[in-house]
Chain A
Amino acid sequence: MLLGFLVVIALAVVRLRNLFAAVMLTGIYSLHAALLFISLDAVDVAFTEAAVGAGISTVLMLATLGLVGREESRPRGRGWLPLTVVLVTGGALVFATLDMPRFGDPNAPVHTHVAPRYIQDSPNETGVPNMVTSVLASYRGYDTLGETVVILTAGIGVLLLLGGRRRDSDEDEGPR
């Protein structure tokens, strides 16, 4: 049901020429994805999806629309090559899911590797009831450090591109 909604919204986003409506629909898409994650019991992920996907990125895309205008220009050509690439990639991904264990299968590799150890030992070792937090911050601390550095790098990149040189132009209200 939710997946069906996701597909419908995605198609609508592709069809729409009005970028404002498309941005709004991507926000709704993120909210639906968050609902989907909740129904999979991944509350932390749903939280992030709702806050980032539906909140911040919508605002950022709206701010971008303020710069580029709200109507999409007519596409040139039919774009058979992109369609082929998308179909082949999608087909490969669907083919790959055929090999995956069934959802919730207790014998799946992901449930037999390190997960039992985390589930049994992490409350005693870290004293943190939320296992997601203990795995993220402690057992996988390196990864999270890397992610934080990635965010910092992305921020620095955007600042370099969009320029922080507005501080001295407070009087003359900038380039426009």
Chain B
Amino acid sequence: MSHHIVLRVVAKLLIPLILLFALYVQFHGDFGPGGGFQAGVIFAAALILYALVFGLDSARRVISPDLLRVLMASGVLLYGGVGVASLLLGGHFLDYSVLASDPVAGQHLGILLVELGVGITVTSTMLSLFYGFAGRGGDG
């Protein structure tokens, strides 16, 4: 893979932009199209591009499969945790209005956290799917 100089340079230029776009989609999902799911997929796509161009082993050094497994679960935990937190604060499960003093602000905070949980789970699941498939066939 070391001789694809054009591919490497272009990927180096593109990957930060894709990551930035994924974060934009994640946190701007309240105002424009997008949200946790789309952002997670785009984020994973950037990391998969990295793995394709620079090799699976260097991608594993960036994010290890073990970390991914923890992240997969923690995204769902964050989502459920928001629900439990709103239970503890006296509301219904996943009723974000009680999360802040102002119901609208609470809704906003709740949606942001929940979307973040979705994004984390989707990113890490997609990436570990890719690791799983590519890791079987020798060098990805």
A contacts, CB < 8 Å to B:
43-44, 47-48, 51-52, 55-56, 59-60, 63-64, 66-67, 124-130, 132-134, 136-138, 141-142, 144-145, 147-149, 151-152, 154-156, 158-159, 162-164, 166-167, 170, 173-176
Contacts and interface: CB of A to CB of B under 8 A. Distances in A.
19 contacts: A44-B34, A47-B25, A51-B42, A59-B45, A59-B48, A59-B130, A63-B133, A67-B136, A124-B104, A125-B104, A126-B111, A130-B30, A130-B31, A130-B32, A134-B107, A134-B111, A162-B133, A162-B135, A163-B132
Interface string B50-69: 00100001000000111001
Interface of B: 25, 29-38, 41-42, 44-45, 48, 52, 57, 64-66, 69, 72-73, 75-76, 79-80, 83, 93-94, 96, 103-105, 107-108, 110-111, 114-115, 117-118, 121-122, 124-126, 128-140
Contacts of A154: 125
A55 B125 contact: no
Contacts, number: 163
Contacts of B137: 63, 66-67, 176
B96 to A, nearest CB: 6
A127 B105 CA distance: 7
A47 B38 contact: yes
Contact of A127 (B35, B52, B107, B128): B107
B138 to A, nearest CB: 5
A158 B48 contact: no
A176 B72 CA distance: 28
Given A48-B41, A133-B115, A43 B138 contact: no
A133 B27 CA distance: 11
A138 B110 CA distance: 8
Contacts of B140: 63
Contacts of A137: 35-36, 110-111, 114-115
A129 B129 CA distance: 34
Contacts of B125: 151-152, 154-155
